[in-house]
Amino acid sequence: MMPKLILASGSPRRKDLLTEAGYDFQVIVPDVEENEDVSVPIRQLTKENAELKAEAVSPANTDAVVIAADTLVLLGERVLTKPIDGDEATEMLASLNGKSHQVFTAFSILHGREGKRVLETVTTDVHFKLLTEAEMIEYHRRINPMDKAGAYAAQEHGKLIIDRIEGSMTNVIGLPMRKVAEILESDFGIVPTLR
């Protein structure tokens, strides 16, 4: 019998990705404060936050496999988290305009009772179109940039702003599904059942 799967995330995008892939799972939003110290190297920061979320949910659900993730944007040496207000969202989108950046998603998969844990990071290159100020305003009018690292969403009107993506599209959305599916099956015996 497959263990129960729990998504330790309040992200509707991660929930959608697991649902679309056919997984049977429960959502438990972890009660944690993410580390947003951008002086910490991005790979370390995303891993720490993913582990923090998984470890917040696992102790009360030791029979379940808990998956948590953290996604951040790297533009040159600058780490972009979620914007704190509309002005910062506008500034973030302008800073990405016409440039290439990387999206880092770390995910932690944890089975408390078995003491099994996998922590991985996937990186995707995203190349933005060169947009006019009016086009950037229109894009932000169509989406809510406030809960998204870098103040954009590849899955929401992404064609308006993104020229091309090299690597995993689902990684940019918030969970690299091909890698996650491989590990869930090989290490935890969980496969999609709701197709």
Residue 82 is part of a domain; what is its CATH number?
Answer: 3.90.950.10
Q: Does residue 118 belong to any structural domain of this protein?
A: yes
Residue 4 has pLDDT above 90, yes or no: yes
Query: Do 103 and 123 touch, CB atoms closer than 8 A?
Result: yes
- Coil/strand/helix, residue 7: strand
Cα–Cα distance, 146 to 47 (Å, whole number): 22
Q: Does residue 181 belong to any structural domain of this protein?
A: yes
Q: Pick the catalytic residue: 31, 37, 63, 70?
A: 70
Average pLDDT over residues 89-96: 96
Q: Does residue 12 belong to any structural domain of this protein?
A: yes
- Coil/strand/helix, residue 70: strand
Say what the pLDDT of residue 156 is: 85
Q: Is 70 one of the annotated active-site residues of the chain? A: yes
- Could you report the per-residue pLDDT of 106-135, keeping only the tens digit for each? 999 999 999 999 999 999 999 999 999 999
Cα–Cα distance, 63 to 47 (Å, whole number): 23
Say what the pLDDT of residue 194 is: 86
- Coil/strand/helix, residue 121: strand
Based on the structure, what is the number of domains in the chain?
A: 1
Residue entry with tokens 């003491």: 115
Cα–Cα distance, 8 to 52 (Å, whole number): 10
Cα–Cα distance, 191 to 96 (Å, whole number): 37
**Domain with 104 in it:** 5-188
Structure tokens at 21: 């892939």
Q: Does residue 58 belong to any structural domain of this protein?
A: yes
Confidence band (pLDDT; 50, 70, 90) for 83? very high
Q: Does residue 33 belong to any structural domain of this protein?
A: yes
Q: Does residue 195 belong to any structural domain of this protein?
A: no
Q: Does residue 194 belong to any structural domain of this protein?
A: no
Cα–Cα distance, 126 to 164 (Å, whole number): 6
Residue percentage of the chain with pLDDT more than 90: 95
Q: Alpha carbon of 3 to those of 62, 118, 187, 189: distances in Å?
A: 10, 16, 12, 8
Average pLDDT over residues 42-65: 97
Say what the pLDDT of residue 143 is: 92
Q: Does residue 45 belong to any structural domain of this protein?
A: yes
Residue 195 has pLDDT above 80, yes or no: no
- Could you report the per-residue pLDDT of 130-162, keeping only the tens digit for each? 999 999 999 999 999 998 999 999 988 999 999
Residue 56 has pLDDT above 90, yes or no: yes
Structure tokens at 166: 């090299």
Say what the pLDDT of residue 112 is: 94
Structure tokens at 8: 């330790």
